[in-house]
Amino acid sequence: MKLSTRCRYGIHAMFDLAQNAGAGPQTIRAIAERQLVPEQYLEQIIGVLRREGLVKSVRGAQGGYMLAWEPSEISIGQLIRLLEGPVVMADCIVDADACVRSGQCPSRLVWERLTDCINKVVDSVTLQDMLADQERLMER
């Protein structure tokens, strides 16, 4: 029940882009250094986010990456689902055929409740919220 580092790296990178929104395109190298993430691995991760339309890239010299949306429009839930796969406790939640019992399995109810709860939390937090949290932390 832990997030993969791949997913955490991705979220850190997106937070970094949110912090530097408006400061022009950010290079992989710069993000990697600030966020302490292996450069080439980050390249791979951010590639996923680009293909899904969450970040824009500028190729060539002076190129780099930027958020494709406002920080308030990007939720942690979106990022987790992209980088970690669907947030689901057991296959039977999405695919009724995955379990022979499906209809009459009592643990299914638990998984459903849990899945709902997790999705509600992660979808309610945006990059904007994290920026605000960050400011509050810095004040002290």
How big is the site for DNA, counted in residues (CB under 7 A)? 28
Query: CB-wise, 63 or 120, nearer to a copy of itself?
Result: 120
Per DSSP, the chain holds a count of helices (H) and strands (E) of: 7, 2
Binding mask 52-91 for DNA (x = CB under 7 A): -----xxxxxxxxx--------------------------
Instruction: Using the minimum distance from each CB to a copy of itself, give the nearer residue, 23 or 121.
Output: 121
By a kind-dependent CB cut-off of 5 to 8 A, residue 90 interacts, out of a copy of itself, DNA, none, with a copy of itself
Minimum distance of a copy of itself from residue 15's CB (angstroms): 7
- Least distance between a copy of itself and beta carbon 90 (Å): 6
Segment holding 66, helix H or strand E: strand 64-67
User: Is the Cβ of residue 5 or residue 134 nearer to DNA in the bound state?
Assistant: 5
Rounded CA-CA distance 56/51 in Å is 9
Q: What x/- string results for residues 31 through 50 when contact with a copy of itself is judged by CB under 8 A?
A: -----x--------------
Answer yes or no whether residue 104 interacts with a copy of itself by CB under 8 A: yes
124 makes contact with DNA (CB under 7 A): no
By beta-carbon proximity to a copy of itself, the closer residue of 57 and 115 is 115
Instruction: Please work out, in degrees rounded to the nearest 5, the angle formed at the alpha carbon of residue 44 by the alpha carbons of 38 and 46.
Output: 95
**Which of 60, 53, 63, 67 minimizes the C-alpha distance to 22?**
67
Nearest Cα to 80, choosing from 11, 5, 133?
11
DSSP 101: S
In our burial notation (b when 16+ CB lie closer than 10 A, e otherwise), range 113-129 reads: eebeeebeebeeebbee
